[in-house]
Structure 1
Amino acid sequence: MNSVAPQLIVGLGNPGPQYADTRHNCGFMLVDRLAQRWGIPLATEKRFQGTYGEGFALGGKRRLLKPETYMNRSGQSVRAVLDWYKLDPGSVLILYDDMDLPLGRLRLRGSGSAGGHNGMKSLIQHLGGESFPRLRLGVGKPKGSKDVVGHVLGGFTPQEKEVLEAVLNTAVEAVECCLREGLPTAMNRFNPMDLGVALSQAEIPPE
């Protein structure tokens, strides 16, 4: 189990306003929230092929990155940051959307396969293996005949946005728990949560 506190936190997504609120950009959304919460300004950094910022928060230096290479070349941007600062792949925490989890679920892991996610395929290729922590944000599978690409590049319904808001808030807590108490503690605390169920139950009036 990886016990090193993350030194680089990366959110996956696609650049451009047309992708800003899509399911595939959950990683970008979470990095933006962390940057705002920690008071870290983000700006385009050409040498990293992405939007990057660094600052001090929670007692240490934090680096945030949103690759602007488009999803299937995310690894290029992350590799550039690792090489520049001489960081180990195990010190990276990747934040990204996952169709294999329903909306409302988070899943922290210390390593693992790409699971069909093109951004993670690129990262595994450029980082030389699967041994780096990741936080998966569930977006659910497409319903009916809807295609996968249309699903991940589509927006959230008003009902889904309510769950997403809770997910992003909880994901911020999960990242901070990783930094303060380590990945194993964060996994035990946040992996069992189902925010979608919790919200739906809260909406049911008592009899």
Structure 2
Amino acid sequence: MTKFLIVGLGNIGNEYENTRHNIGFDVVNAFVRKHGGSFQSDRLAYKAEVRWKGRLFICICPTTYMNRSGQALKYWLDKEKIAIENILVIVDDLALPLSKLRLRPGGSDAGHNGLRDIQAMLGTTEYPKLRFGIGSNFARGRQVDFVLGKWTPEEVPLVKLKIDKSAEVIESFSTIGIAATMNAINKIDFSL
């Protein structure tokens, strides 16, 4: 059975729920719910296992906080003996508009602390990432408030649509592969 490690980036704690920075948690939660799984508190993460179409998904939401996401990823990658190309990290991205998702087989951390820590722990930037565009609608010097802020009521319907689509991306990534999934998803401009 082929194994995949699905990692949603975010911060634990009620104050971070439904914030832009926690979209990785939200996507992984949606995927696990869709497939009837449930999370348990485990080593360095909330963890759920999903079996689907002959594949096993180890789904984690690190409890290490964003800046130490690499610890949890590396622990579960090694424990479950998962190939690096079968990781999928879901992360918020300021450089992408809210209308976009971007899947890539590698690439820099782009200034994202969670990705920077993962890169340091893995010793490479070459691992798959699904970047969830959150836009950059903030005044100069207000980036932290924006990223840690909650979605506006106007954004919520589009965010929900993209969360559902992101769960489908995880399925597609595991079945038809990253190249075909990238071709299908990266060119879409999501709107209601």
Normalised by the length of structure 1, the TM-score is 0.89
Q: Do structure 1's residue 38 and structure 2's residue 35 form an aligned pair?
A: yes
**How far apart, CA to CA, are the structure 2 residues paired with 1:40 and 1:58?**
15
Structure 1 position 6, deviation (Å): 6.4
The one of 123, 146, 151 equivalent to 2:146 is 151
1:28-75 Cα offsets, whole Å, 9 max, x none, are: 0000001101112111102xx010111311321111000010000000
Q: Is residue 6–residue 179 contact of structure 1 (8 Å, CA) maintained in 2?
A: no
Q: Secondary structure, in 3 states, of the residue corresponding to 2:34? A: helix
**Residue 156 of structure 1, CA deviation:** 0.7
* SS of aligned partner of 1:158: coil
Contact 1:69–1:76 at 8 Å: present in 2 too? yes
Q: Find the counterpart in structure 2 of residue 7 from structure 1.
A: 4
What's the counterpart of residue 203 of structure 1?
none
- State the secondary structure of the residue aligned to 1:179: helix
Count of paired positions: 191
Q: 1:50 aligns with which of 42, 45, 51?
A: 45
Counterpart of 1:20 in structure 2 is 17
Letter in 2 for 1:193: I
Gaps of 5+ in 1: 200-207
Indicate the structure (1 or 2) with the bigger Cα radius of gyration.
1
Q: State which of 83, 106, 115 in structure 1 corresponds to 2:78.
A: 83
Tell me the residue number matched to 1:138: 133
What one-letter code is carried by the residue in structure 2 that aligns with 1:61? L
Matched, 1:190 2:185: yes
CA RMSD of aligned residues (A): 1.3
Contact conserved, 2:106 with 2:125, CA < 8 A, in 1? yes
SS in structure 1 at match of 2:155? helix
List aligned pairs for 1:44-193, cutoff 5 A.
44-46=41-43, 49-145=44-140, 147-193=142-188
Please give the alpha-carbon distance, in whole angstroms, between the structure 2 residues aligned to 1:63 and 1:83: 12
CA deviations over 1:154-203 (Å, ceiling 9, x no partner)? 001111111101111111111111111111111000101111xx32xxxx
1:128 Cα deviation from its structure 2 partner: 1.2
Task: Report deviation, 1:92.
Answer: 0.7
Matched residues in 2 for 1:40 and 1:168: separation?
17
Mapped partners of 1:55, 1:190: distance in 2: 23
Identity, % of aligned pairs? 36
In 1, the alpha carbon distance for the partners of 2:50 and 2:184 equals 27
Q: Distance in 2 between matches of 1:72 and 1:38?
A: 29
More helix by share: 1
Matches of 1:67 and 1:164, distance apart in 2: 22
Residue 202 of structure 1 corresponds to which residue in structure 2? none
Q: CA deviation digits over 1:71-126, x for unaligned, max 9?
A: 00000001111121222322210001000001120000000000000000000000
TM-score (norm 2): 0.95
